[in-house]
Amino acid sequence: MPTELDKFDRRILAILQTDARRSAELIGTDIGLSASAVQRRIARLRDESIITTEVAVVDPKRTGRPLTLIVDIEVERERPELMASLKQWIATEPAIQEAWYVTGEGDYVLIVTARDVEDYDALMQRLVAENGNVRRFQTRVALGTLKRGLLVPMDLQE
């Protein structure tokens, strides 16, 4: 069940999702609360795991990882111990930016960043070699980025 969020919580979340470094004073000025009230609300949102982490978003192209790939993975068997091993491998691999356990033809969808095709090929060879339960994978190369982000829409009309 979703946590009850009032209009101030939602406005704070909307602001922090676009600029997590914005000061409580500026947020308070924007939404009509004192800085201390904003700080208390942000602390509560963190304590209740509504805010799960705060990160810097880095442009992969500017850091030497211009290739983005979407990978569909199909597993051989869905035995719990095999699935747990694959999930752990995926979770600890830095080149995998996102991973989704999905319905449909494949079992997982991965978003992968790589320096070049050779770098990606080495990653996939390791995936298959270290995870015998992977039946097959299919790769799509992103030709361009239309939208990238993790913003959760906030209904500010409440």
pTM of the shown model: 0.85
Model confidence band, residue 158 (pLDDT cutoffs 50, 70, 90)? low
114-153 confidence digits (pLDDT tens): 999 999 999 999 999 999 999 999 999 999 999 988 899 9
- Determine the average pLDDT of the residues in 5-19: 96
Architecture of domain 7-47: Orthogonal Bundle (1.10)
Close Cβ partners of 84 (under 8 Å, ≥ 6 residues apart): none
| Domain 7-47 shares a fold with domain 61-141 | no
Candidate CATH numbers 3.30.70.920, 2.60.40.60, 3.30.9.60, 3.30.1390.10; the one for domain 61-141: 3.30.70.920
Q: What is the pLDDT of residue 105?
A: 87
Q: What is the pLDDT of residue 10?
A: 96
Give rounded-to-5 percent helix, strand, coil for the chain.
40, 20, 40
Domain ranges of the chain: 7-47, 61-141
How would you class 108 by CB atoms within 10 Å of its CB: exposed for 0-12, middle for 13-18, buried for 19 or more? buried
The kind and range of the H/E element at 96 are: strand 96-101
DSSP assignment string, 23-92: -HHHHHHHHT--HHHHHHHHHHHHHTTSS--------TGGGT--EEEEEEEEES---HHHHHHHHHHHHH
